[in-house]
Structure 1
Amino acid sequence: MANSKQENSQPTFALGKENYKLLLIGFAIIVVGFILMVGGKSEDPSVFNPEIFSFRRITLAPLVVLFGFLFEIYAIMKRSKTEK
């Protein structure tokens, strides 16, 4: 009787299909945040470029990355509609 239960049970993933889609979206948001941080270097190393302190690099990009990580937590914690 125990063997019949083992034969019928299929291995399942820890998360549902929707969770994995949300995880990919969150990962894309994090990548966009890091891309926003790129740039601002000076052509000449002895010359300072104040562009590294722009709003995009100091404020916007870290907020986008933080939102991406929060979205990842939501994607992991979200229950599927089929689960009870």
Structure 2
Amino acid sequence: MFDFNVVITNLNKIEKEKALDLVKQLRNSIIASAESNEKYAAEYADIPLVGKTIFEQQRLLYRALLEWLDTFERQYKESE
């Protein structure tokens, strides 16, 4: 479903330091996307409800992905 899952599923094939760097890059990308979403939501605040609800869906998705990534990173750091 998400392109970055390919990266996540292959992290065990590279050095842990490099893997954690990729996780950091992924986090930065999600944060940038979330910020863009917020900017567009504010810029187009006068759109109909059906559009506003998509911005809200994306906001919730980015928040959930960041929470998931935090949990994964913590577990990954503790592994092996």
Q: TM-score, normalised by structure 2?
A: 0.55
Whole-angstrom CA distance in 2 between matches of 1:18 and 1:40: 33
Moved over 4 A (4+): none
- Give the partner amino acid of 1:39: E
Query: Which structure's residues are more often helix, by fraction?
Result: 2
How many residues get paired? Answer: 59
The higher relative CO (CA closer than 8 Å, separation ≥ 6) is in 1
> Structure 1, residues 14-67: CA drift from partner, whole Å, max 9, x if none?
xx21221121122022112212212357xxxxxxxxxx24222x2011111111
Tell me the distance in 1 between the aligned counterparts of 2:22 and 2:68.
Answer: 12
The structure having more radius of gyration, on CA atoms, is 1
Percentage identity across aligned positions?
A: 9
Unaligned runs of 5+ in 1: 1-12, 42-51
Which amino acid counterpart does residue 27 of structure 1 have in structure 2?
A: I
Instruction: Please report the RMSD computed on the Cα atoms of aligned residues, expressed in angstroms.
Output: 2.8
For the residues of structure 2 that align with 1:63 and 1:39, how far apart are their CA atoms?
17
